[in-house]
């Protein structure tokens, strides 16, 4: 682990006005800024980078901003990573008034740090906040908070090719409320953790289980936004499937129990010939940022991409199936089990999913030209 004062030299340069002002006197900050040769910004935290999974690693800093009812969010600030004090009557604890986001910071081969479409997460949080009757940060404040959190925790960003720094923005009703109404205060918080592969078997093809008893979302519900309340209800289905050796669960629509919707942690795509199909987003499916990016990349490769109702029977005839998400990236599906019948898909070289995955990751880490203008260089 690097010595903390050396690390602070890095921070002093990265964000003197925020972190430096809190941790150092103005004189000390100036001295550090001027001591460029001593600058140890590139140092890494003491992490086993070859064995990163998707577990939480405690990093150095988190960002927090608050706002009271009907007011804009105040200027937020970084503080040491740690527990958050909450009223027992906080809206989020009692009525689940909360949203989360997931985005990643990547380290390029040349040491530059990139974010991927963070403004899309900001917009999605605003849409979710409107649905959940919450105040939300502006797009600029959201993106700035994510940048500050990534840079303050720079030593936790894995070396190129070893993973990424997962950034978790949260918007929660922290004001006390007893009757069922919107909370009188909201907190916007961003924390970070270095991560590798989401699934425990790494990049191995997924074995999905189609669930026809439990549903993830219903028409008119909040399945289309990233409400925290969408996630605990699927834990039962996930633990049942994992107990039987499956990687994750694929949910069906709750009305007809016939159309596929999404996997607990990601969106889903089918490939048949030159056509790639994915369920349309009609309020029950999360509008994934990776989903949207893969649709654009696939169209640019000349595939016909259809967003439409996809019947579960189509899984039997697909050439390939894959999933997309920020945590998951692009994951190849090896098999799907539905009503006791297991369908296996081709895996190995030449998969459409692997071509799309390599292009997406190449753009994210600055190796492939970003003609879409998706990547934000935050150095
Ligand atoms: C993400 O992909 O960022 C998510 O929020 C999914 C979550 C289940 C880890």
DSSP 8-state assignment for residue 366 = T
Quote the ligand 1 centre to 82 CA distance (angstroms).
Answer: 21
Q: Tell how strand 329-338 and strand 260-263 pair up.
A: unpaired
Query: Are 253 and 263 a contacting pair, CB within 8 Å?
Result: no
Q: pLDDT category, 201, cuts 50, 70, 90?
A: confident
Quote the ligand 1 centre to 241 CA distance (angstroms).
Answer: 18
- Which residue matches tokens 């909360």? 98
pLDDT at site 42: 54
**Average pLDDT value for the chain:** 90
CATH class of 206-364: alpha beta
What is the atom index within ligand 1 of the atom nearest the CA of 102?
3
CA distance 262 to 237: 13
Quote the ligand 1 centre to 105 CA distance (angstroms).
Answer: 15
What is the atom index within ligand 1 of the atom nearest the CA of 166?
3
Q: What confidence tens digit (pLDDT) does each residue in 220-257 have? A: 999 999 999 999 999 999 999 999 999 999 999 999 99
CA-based torsion, 140, 146, 147, 148: positive or negative: positive
What is the atom index within ligand 1 of the atom nearest the CA of 100?
5
Ligand 1, CB within 6 Å, residue ranges? 102, 265, 325-328
162: annotated active-site residue: no
Residue 17 has pLDDT above 70, yes or no: no
Answer with the residue of higher pLDDT: 339 or 16: 339
Average pLDDT estimate for 310-314: 97
Best residue among 292, 328, 331 to mutate for probing ligand 1's pocket (most ligand atoms within 8 Å of CB) is 328
- Token pair listed for 117: 């479409």
User: Which residue of the set 226, 236, 339, 355 is catalytic?
Assistant: 226
What is the atom index within ligand 1 of the atom nearest the CA of 290?
2
Q: Whose CA is nearest to atom 7 of ligand 1?
A: 265
Q: What confidence tens digit (pLDDT) does each residue in 261-302 have? A: 999 999 999 999 999 999 999 999 999 999 999 999 999 999
φ/ψ (deg, to 5) at 304: -90, 120
Angle at 267 between CA 264 and CA 271, to 5 degrees: 130
CA distance 157 to 166: 9
Quote the ligand 1 centre to 168 CA distance (angstroms).
Answer: 9
Cβ neighbours for 221, distance < 8 A, ≥ 6 positions apart: 283, 284
H helices of the chain, in order, are 4-14, 21-23, 26-34, 91-95, 118-131, 139-152, 235-243, 289-300, 314-317, 352-364
DSSP 8-state assignment for residue 56 = -
What is the atom index within ligand 1 of the atom nearest the CA of 226?
5
Residue 215 has pLDDT above 80, yes or no: yes
Angle at 82 between CA 81 and CA 87, to 5 degrees: 135
pLDDT at site 18: 37
Burial label for 180, CB within 10 Å (0-12, 13-18, 19+), is exposed
Q: pLDDT category, 35, cuts 50, 70, 90?
A: very low
Q: Is 49 helix (H, G, I), strand (E, B) or coil?
A: helix
Residue environment code for 109-147, b if the CB has 16+ CB neighbours within 10 A, otherwise e? eeeebbbbbbbbbbbbbbebbebbebbbbebebbbbbbb
Residue 40 has pLDDT above 90, yes or no: no
Average pLDDT estimate for 162-188: 97
Average pLDDT estimate for 367-375: 97
Average pLDDT estimate for 202-230: 94
pLDDT at site 63: 98
Domains of the chain by residue range: 1-40, 42-195, 206-364
Q: Whose CA is nearest to atom 3 of ligand 1?
A: 102
Residue 311 has pLDDT above 60, yes or no: yes
Q: Tell how strand 103-107 and strand 61-68 pair up.
A: unpaired
Q: What confidence tens digit (pLDDT) does each residue in 76-103 have? A: 999 999 999 999 999 999 999 999 999 9
Average pLDDT estimate for 330-336: 97
Best residue among 265, 268, 360 to mutate for probing ligand 1's pocket (most ligand atoms within 8 Å of CB) is 265
User: Architecture of domain 42-195 in CATH?
Assistant: 2-Layer Sandwich (3.30)
Quote the ligand 1 centre to 327 CA distance (angstroms).
Answer: 5
């Amino acid at each position: 682990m690097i010595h903390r004062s050396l690390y602070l030299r890095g921070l002093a340069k990265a964000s003197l006005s925020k972190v430096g002002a809190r941790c150092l006197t103005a004189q000390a900050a100036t001295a550090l800024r001027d001591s460029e040769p001593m600058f140890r910004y590139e140092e890494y935290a003491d992490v086993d980078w070859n064995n990163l999974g998707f577990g939480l690693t405690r990093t150095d800093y988190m960002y927090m901003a608050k706002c009271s009812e009907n007011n804009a969010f105040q200027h937020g600030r970084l503080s040491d990573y740690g527990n958050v004090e909450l009223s027992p009557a906080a809206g989020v604890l009692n009525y689940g008034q909360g949203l989360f986001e997931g985005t990643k910071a990547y380290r390029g081969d040349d040491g530059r740090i990139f974010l991927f479409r963070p403004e899309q997460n900001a917009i999605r949080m605003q849409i979710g906040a409107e649905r959940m009757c919450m105040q939300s940060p502006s797009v600029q404040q959201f993106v700035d908070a994510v940048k500050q959190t990534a840079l303050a925790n720079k030593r936790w960003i894995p070396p190129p090719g070893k993973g990424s720094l997962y950034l978790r923005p949260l918007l929660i009703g922290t004001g006390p409320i007893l009757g069922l109404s919107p909370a009188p205060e909201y907190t916007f918080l961003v924390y970070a953790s270095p991560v590798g592969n989401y699934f425990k078997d790494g990049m191995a093809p997924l074995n999905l289980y189609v669930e026809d008893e439990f549903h993830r979302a219903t028409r008119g519900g909040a399945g289309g936004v990233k409400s925290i309340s969408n996630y605990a209800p699927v834990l039962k289905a996930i633990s049942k499937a994992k107990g039987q050796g499956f990687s994750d669960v694929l949910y069906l629509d709750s009305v007809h129990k016939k159309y596929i919707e999404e996997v607990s942690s990601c969106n889903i795509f089918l490939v048949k010939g030159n056509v790639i199909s994915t369920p349309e987003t009609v309020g029950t499916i999360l509008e994934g940022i990776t989903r949207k990016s893969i649709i654009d990349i696939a169209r640019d490769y000349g595939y016909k991409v259809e967003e439409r109702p996809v019947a579960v029977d189509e899984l039997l005839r697909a050439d390939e199936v894959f999933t997309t998400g920020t945590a998951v990236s692009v994951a190849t599906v090896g098999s799907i089990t539905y009503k006791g019948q297991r369908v296996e898909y081709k895996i190995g070289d030449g998969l459409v999913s692997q071509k799309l995955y390599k292009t997406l990751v190449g753009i994210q880490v600055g190796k492939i030209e970003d003609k879409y203008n998706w990547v934000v260089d935050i150095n």
